Amino acid sequence: MNVKVIDKIATVIFYTIAIIITLILFGLLCFILVKGLSGISWDFLTKPPENLRAGGGVGPQIFNSFFLLLLTMLFTIPLGIGGGIYLAEYSKPNTITYAARLVIEVLSSLPSIVVGLFGLLIFVQKLGMGFSLFSGALVLMIFNLPLMIRITEQSLRAVPVEQKEASLAMGISHWKTITSIMLPIALPGIITGTILTAGRAFGEAAALMFTAGMSSPPLDFTNWNPLAPNSPINPFRPASTLAVHIWKINSEGLIPDAAQIAASASAVLVICVLFFNILSRWIGKLIYKKFTAA
C-alpha cells in the first residue's frame, strides 16, 4: 500500500478517535449540567441543608471544599516544589534517588480509597486527629504530591540549559541560579500544574470519607475563632465536602428530592473543576507571555 495512503488512513483514524472522545466528554458535561442547573439557586449555594425544605442546600459543603483545598495546597505546594527541585537539580543516580522515584510512581498509581484507608489508620486513629479537615488535607497532600513533583521537575528540565550554564559561568551559586533564573522561567508550568492539582483535590471524595468525615457540625459564620467547635475556620472539625455530600445523599436515600440535589451539586462541582482548568491555562499563558515577551 502507498505510504501516502497509509498516512491518510492513520490521520483519519486518529481524528475519528479524537472526535469520539470529545463527543463523549461533551455529552457527559451536557447531561450533568442540563439535569443540575435547574435546581441551582442562591439559597441552594449559600444555605445549609437543614434550612431548605426537603434537605437541599450545599453552602457549608462548598465552604468546606474550598477551605480543605486551601489547607491541602499549603502542604502540597512547598513539598511538591522542593521535591521537584531535588529530582531535577540535585539527584544523582543512586539508591536514594531510585527509592524516591519508586515511591512517587507507587503513590501516583494508588487508588484514592487506599490512600484514604491509610489516612484513617495513621492520621485519624494512630495520631488521634479524628475525622477532621486537617486529616483530610494531609491525605490529599499524599494523593497530589506525585503530580506536583512531576510537574515541577518537568518544568525545571524544560528551562534552556544555556541559561543555567550562563548563570553558573558568571560565578552565581547553584541555589541562586535555581531561585533567580530557573524558577521564574519554569513558573508558568508550575502554576498551571498547581491549579490543575487544586482541581483534582476539589473533586476527591473516596479518600475524604475516611478522614474528613461525612457530616459537618452546624457552622456559625460569625465565630472566627479557629479553636471553636462550630467555627468555619477550625481545621480540626469534621467536614463534609461537596463531592462527599453528593455520595452521601445518594447512598442514604433519606431526602425526598435526593436525586435533584445530587444532580445540582454535581453541576456545581463540575463547574468548579472546569473553572480550575480554564483558570490554569489562562494564568499559564499570561505568565508565559510575561517571561518570554511573546
pLDDT in tens, 137-146: 999 999 889 9
Quick one: pLDDT at residue 122? 92
Give residue-wise pLDDT tens across range 216-237: 788 888 888 888 888 889 999 9
155 and 71 part of one domain: yes
49 and 32 part of one domain: no
Residue 106 has pLDDT above 90, yes or no: no
| pTM, entire model | 0.84
- Residue by residue, DSSP assigns the chain as --HHHHHHHHHHHHHHHHHHHHHHHHHHHHHHHHHHHTT--HHHHHS-GGGSGGG---HHHHHHHHHHHHHHHHHHHHHHHHHHHIIIII--SSHHHHHHHHHHHHHHHS-HHHHHHHHIIIIIIIS---SSHHHHHHHHHHHHHHHHHHHHHHHHHTS-HHHHHHHHHTT--HHHHIIIIIHHHHHHHHHHHHHHHHHHHHT--HHHHTTT-S--PPP-TT---TTSTT-TT-TTS----HHHHHHHHHHH--STTHHHHHHHHHHHHHHHHHHHHHHHHHHHHHHHHHHH--
23 and 89 part of one domain: no
Quick one: pLDDT at residue 293? 57
Residue 55 has pLDDT above 70, yes or no: no
27 and 156 part of one domain: no
Quick one: pLDDT at residue 205? 86
19 and 151 part of one domain: no
Quick one: pLDDT at residue 50? 66
77 and 180 part of one domain: yes
251 and 266 part of one domain: yes
Give residue-wise pLDDT tens across range 155-171: 999 888 888 888 888 88
Residue 53 has pLDDT above 70, yes or no: no
Range of the domain at 133: 43-292
Count the domains in the chain: 2
6 and 84 part of one domain: no
164 and 118 part of one domain: yes
51 and 27 part of one domain: no
Residue 294 has pLDDT above 90, yes or no: no
6 and 67 part of one domain: no
Quick one: pLDDT at residue 276? 78
Quick one: pLDDT at residue 279? 78
What share of the chain has pLDDT > 90, as a percent?
22
Residue pointed to by grid coordinates 544555556: 162
pLDDT band at 277 (very low <50, low <70, confident <90, very high): confident
26 and 162 part of one domain: no
Give residue-wise pLDDT tens across range 188-204: 888 888 888 888 788 88
CATH number, domain of 286, equals 1.10.3720.10
